[in-house]
Every structure is written in C-alpha cells, then in structure tokens.
C-alpha cells in the first residue's frame, strides 16, 4: 500500500534525524564539560546514559553506642514486714496502784498458841524418829530381830522349854511364837545364825494334839514339816528348825532361848 510505505520512510527519516541531533548534542556537551569521567587530564568522549532507577534498600547498619541512663522508675508496692528488732530498755516504774480490798481477820491468840505447840511437837517427833532409827541400828548388830513392832531377842544359849519360859517371863516377855511367815523368817534367821533349833512358845501340854500359844489361844499360823506333828514318843513342844519348818518335839531338849517383846 503506497500510504503505508510512505509513512515508513517518513519515520525512518525522522529517526535518523533524531539520532543525529542527539549525537551532536552529546558532542557539544562533552566538549564544554567533562562530568562522566573525572580523570584530571583526560576527557574521553563518552555519552552519559539516562539515570537508572533506585536500587534495593541496603543491609542494616552496625549496633549503635549504648544510650544514656534512663529516668528513675516509679516506687514499688509495700514489701512484707521485717524481723522483730532487739528488746528495748526497761521502762520506769509505774504509779502506785489503787488500794486493795480489806484482808481476812488474823488468827486468834488461842490459834497462834496451838500452832506453836504443834510445830514444837513435830520437832519432838522428828527427834524421836531419829533416835529410834539409831536404836534399831544398834539392835540389828546384836542378837535381836525386829519385825514391824515385834522384837525377838536371844537371852540364853542352851535351856529347856520350861527354863526358857522362865527366862522370858523374868524380862516381861514370852517365848517367841511367829504369827505369820514374816515373823517365822526372822526366827529362822536367828536359828541359822546359831545353827541350832529353837523352841517356840507353843505346846499341846493342855490337850494332846491341840497346839496353843502360852496365853491359851489355839495357833492361827503353823509351818509344820511333812508328817508333823506326829507326837513321836510324846512330843508336846515345838522346835523351829534352821530351814524354818516346825516339828513337835520333846520339851527337854536344850536350845537357845528366844523371847519376843
């Protein structure tokens, strides 16, 4: 088509013209000013391009220097109470208190005297107890035995039953007759000490087979050996052997005499 061909040639012409003008312009600028290559003594004839678009953002910079100290913060909440402090010094004496109620009536003269008598008696009793304990110690060292309130004393070394009864009677005492195991044991200890049997203040002289104390009462405590009393050959008296057992025996043996008081 002739119109299109014409237009194309026109465009080619215009482009060539524009290129020429741009070349001329750039030569002119290069001769007047050399800004592209800042070398001192040379000045290449180079056309400057159009400014490029902005590049990508650069990397983050290094950490900066430490900043200045900040302002003081606000006051915090109240903390828990601290430990108890040391004791304070003693305070001054307080003022005199109010008068108290009226007291009870004092002891009468009679009561005061009674109290004094009682404390004197208590003191006397204490002294007597001390004395008794002293006597007891002396008696224990002698041939005397004490069981509760009964005293057993050896008054002769070899006497018959009848002689023994007499010797005790002369001392306002009687031949020993144990009323219980404790007393029997005390007498056994004396028998053991002398290594001899002893007569007890017991016999069946009045009624054969019925043993009585010297006051006539029938015995309430006995410690007969096996098969005793057997009245072997007419035995009316009682011997306490070193083992503590009893045997009915003739009244004519000669044994240590033990009286009880």
Residue pair 179/260 in contact (Cβ under 8 Å)? The answer is no
CB of 251 to ligand GLC, least distance (A): 12
Q: Name which of ligand GLC, Ca ion, none residue 28 binds, using a CB cut-off of 5 to 8 Å depending on partner kind.
A: none
The residue at minimum Cβ distance from ligand GLC is 232
- Applying CB under 6 A, the residues found at the interface with ligand GLC are 228, 230, 232, 235, 247, 249
CB of 232 to ligand GLC, least distance (A): 4
Q: How many CA atoms lie within 13 A of 3 on its CB side?
A: 0
Of residues 223 and 247, the one with the C-beta less far from ligand GLC: 247
Of residues 236 and 260, the one with the C-beta less far from ligand GLC: 236
Q: Name which of Ca ion, ligand GLC, none residue 184 binds, using a CB cut-off of 5 to 8 Å depending on partner kind.
A: none
Residue pair 260/177 in contact (Cβ under 8 Å)? The answer is yes
Residue 248's DSSP bridge partners are 238
CB of 190 to Ca ion, least distance (A): 21
State how far the Cα of 158 lies from the Cα of 176, in Å rounded to an integer: 15
Of residues 109 and 234, the one with the C-beta less far from ligand GLC: 234
Q: Name which of Ca ion, ligand GLC, none residue 165 binds, using a CB cut-off of 5 to 8 Å depending on partner kind.
A: none
3-state secondary structure 147-211: ECCEEEEEEEEEECHHHHHHHHHHCCCEECCCCCHHHHHHHHHHHHHHCCCEEEEEEEEEECCEE
CB of 250 to Ca ion, least distance (A): 9
Of residues 150 and 241, the one with the C-beta less far from ligand GLC: 241
Q: Name which of Ca ion, ligand GLC, none residue 204 binds, using a CB cut-off of 5 to 8 Å depending on partner kind.
A: none
State how far the Cα of 231 lies from the Cα of 236, in Å rounded to an integer: 7
Residue 145's DSSP bridge partners are 152
Helix (H) or strand (E) holding 132: helix 109-141
Of residues 143 and 253, the one with the C-beta less far from ligand GLC: 253
CB of 227 to ligand GLC, least distance (A): 7
Q: E strands, the chain, where?
A: 144-147, 150-159, 174-175, 198-207, 210-213, 237-240, 246-249, 255-260
Of residues 12 and 232, the one with the C-beta less far from ligand GLC: 232
Q: How many CA atoms lie within 13 A of 23 on its CB side?
A: 6
Residue 153's DSSP bridge partners are 144, 259
Q: Give the x-and-dash track for 226-255 against Ca ion (CB under 5 A).
A: ----x-x--x-----------xx-------
CB of 247 to ligand GLC, least distance (A): 5
Residues at the interface with Ca ion (CB under 5 A): 230, 232, 235, 247-248
């Amino acid at each position: 088509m002739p119109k299109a061909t014409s237009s194309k040639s026109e465009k080619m012409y215009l482009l060539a013209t524009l290129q020429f003008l741009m070349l001329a312009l750039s030569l002119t600028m290069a001769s007047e000013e050399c800004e592209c290559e800042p070398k001192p003594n040379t000045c290449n004839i180079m056309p400057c391009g159009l400014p490029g678009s902005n590049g990508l953002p650069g990397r983050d910079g290094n950490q900066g220097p430490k900043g200045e100290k900040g302002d003081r913060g606000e006051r915090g909440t109240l903390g828990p109470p601290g430990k108890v402090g040391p004791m304070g010094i003693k305070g001054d004496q307080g003022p005199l208190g109010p008068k108290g109620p009226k007291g009870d009536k004092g002891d009468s003269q009679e009561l005061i005297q009674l109290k004094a008598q009682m404390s004197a008696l208590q003191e006397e009793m204490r002294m007597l107890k001390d004395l008794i304990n002293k006597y007891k110690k002396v008696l224990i060292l002698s041939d005397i035995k004490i069981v509760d309130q009964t005293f057993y004393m050896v008054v002769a070394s070899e006497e018959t039953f009848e002689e023994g009864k007499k010797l005790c009677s002369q001392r306002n005492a009687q031949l020993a007759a144990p009323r219980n195991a404790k007393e029997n044991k005390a007498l056994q200890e004396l028998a053991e000490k002398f290594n001899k049997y002893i007569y007890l203040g017991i016999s069946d002289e009045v009624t054969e087979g019925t043993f009585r104390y010297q006051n006539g009462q029938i015995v309430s405590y006995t410690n007969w050996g096996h098969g005793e009393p057997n009245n072997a050959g007419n035995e009316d008296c009682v011997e306490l052997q070193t083992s503590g057992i009893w045997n009915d025996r003739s009244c004519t043996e000669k044994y240590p005499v033990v009286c009880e008081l």
